[in-house]
Amino acid sequence: MEVVRAEPGADLWWELMAYARSCPWVAGEHLADLMRDGAFTEWESVFAALDGGKIVGFCTLMETDYYPENRYSPWISTVFVDESFRGRGICGKLVEAACGYAGEAGFHRAFIPSDIIGLYERYGFQQIDKLENYGGELDNIFARDI
């Protein structure tokens, strides 16, 4: 299993866009639209988890996320692992790849939004806040120094 950064226009970019669009999570379709529209800045990125060359998960590193008040950046977001591959540490590998890339881009802290408690703490994140998202729900905000 490996995690790679998808480069706009590369074969993996298009494969990941199709995978995200067919993903059972609504955020996958949103990611596919962002990829199609070229909505990523110079340092923003999409990462794919590959098992034998097959995409089994993804995440993004983005400047903003699904919040009217974006007081944190960068966001590790849209973290998804195919159900049949969960429990194998893939989520952690995606998060670590995004953190490593954020560090290379000059960031010293990364943030993850989630309604899940107990997952991202395994990777050194701590809950620091709650933010209301565009849907009117409160999400936990986790942070970790990188």
Q: Mind listing the pLDDT tens digit for each residue in 90-132?
A: 999 999 999 999 999 999 999 999 988 999 999 999 999 999 9
* CATH number of domain containing 105: 3.40.630.30
How many domains, in total, are found in the chain? Answer: 1
Residue 42 has a pLDDT of 87
Q: Which domain holds residue 141?
A: 2-145
Nearest to 55 by CA among 93, 2, 7: 2
Nearest to 96 by CA among 144, 32, 43, 42: 144
Residue 56 has a pLDDT of 98
Q: Express each pLDDT in 60-81 by its tens digit.
A: 999 999 999 889 999 999 999 9
Residue 70 has a pLDDT of 84
> From the CB of residue 90, how many other CB atoms can be counted at a distance below 10 Å?
22
Alpha-helical (H) ranges within the chain are 11-22, 26-36, 90-104
Are the C-beta atoms of 56 and 82 separated by less than 8 Å?
A: yes
- Give 42's contacts (C-beta < 8 A, 6+ positions apart): none
pTM of the complete model beyond 0.75: yes
First to last CA, the chain: 23
> From the CB of residue 61, how many other CB atoms can be counted at a distance below 10 Å?
26
Please determine, for residue 22, whether its predicted confidence score (pLDDT) is greater than 90: yes
- CA 112 to chain CA centroid, nearest Å: 8
Please determine, for residue 31, whether its predicted confidence score (pLDDT) is greater than 90: yes
